Copies of this chain bind each other. A is one copy, B any other.
Amino acid sequence: MTAVSPKPWPDADPRVDALVNDVIGRVADKWTMLILEVLADHGELRFTRVGKLVPGISQKMLTQTLRQMERDGLVVRTVHPVIPPRVEYRLTELGLSLGAAFCGVWTWAEDNLERIETARRSFDARQDLLTPP
């Protein structure tokens, strides 16, 4: 992590804001995060292996998400010109740093899972009181 501004929320400039939001939108989706995790855990992996390590992902989304991540400079794709083909994926330094940044969110989610589920049940119970069919 490089320099951090002193304010609790980093920026107010709407232009930077929009870009940051765009980046986050691309980076913070379900599959990207899961692939990020397995690559951070296992280092370099083959295409099929990544697919097996990410629970419910379809082959289409696997390809698509890996391409995006490659485009964004989060992973490097290495093609070994052999038959059958062998393609390895690993995180770049940028990808690793993103993993580190997201680590806080993962632990937050873990730490607060029950709190959230309790809140949901409570909320849903309140809703049911207002609509008893």
- Is B21 in contact with A33, judged by CB distance below 8 angstroms? yes
Instruction: Across the interface, name the chain B residue whose C-beta is closest to A106.
Output: B10
- Is A110 in contact with B11, judged by CB distance below 8 angstroms? yes
Instruction: Across the interface, name the chain B residue whose C-beta is closest to A56.
Output: B18
Q: Is A133 an interface position by the 8 A CB rule?
A: no
A119 in complex: contacting residue of B14, B16, B73, CB < 8 Å: B73
- Is A94 in contact with B112, judged by CB distance below 8 angstroms? yes
- Is B27 in contact with A71, judged by CB distance below 8 angstroms? no
* Bound: A12/B104 CA distance, A: 16
- Is B71 in contact with A120, judged by CB distance below 8 angstroms? yes
Q: Is A130 an interface position by the 8 A CB rule?
A: no
6 contacts between A and B (CB under 8 A): A1-B107, A10-B106, A18-B55, A71-B120, A94-B116, A101-B105
**Which A residues fall within an 8 A CB radius of B?**
1-5, 8-12, 14, 16-21, 23-25, 27-30, 33-34, 37, 40-41, 55, 70-73, 94, 97-99, 101-113, 115-116, 118-120, 123-124
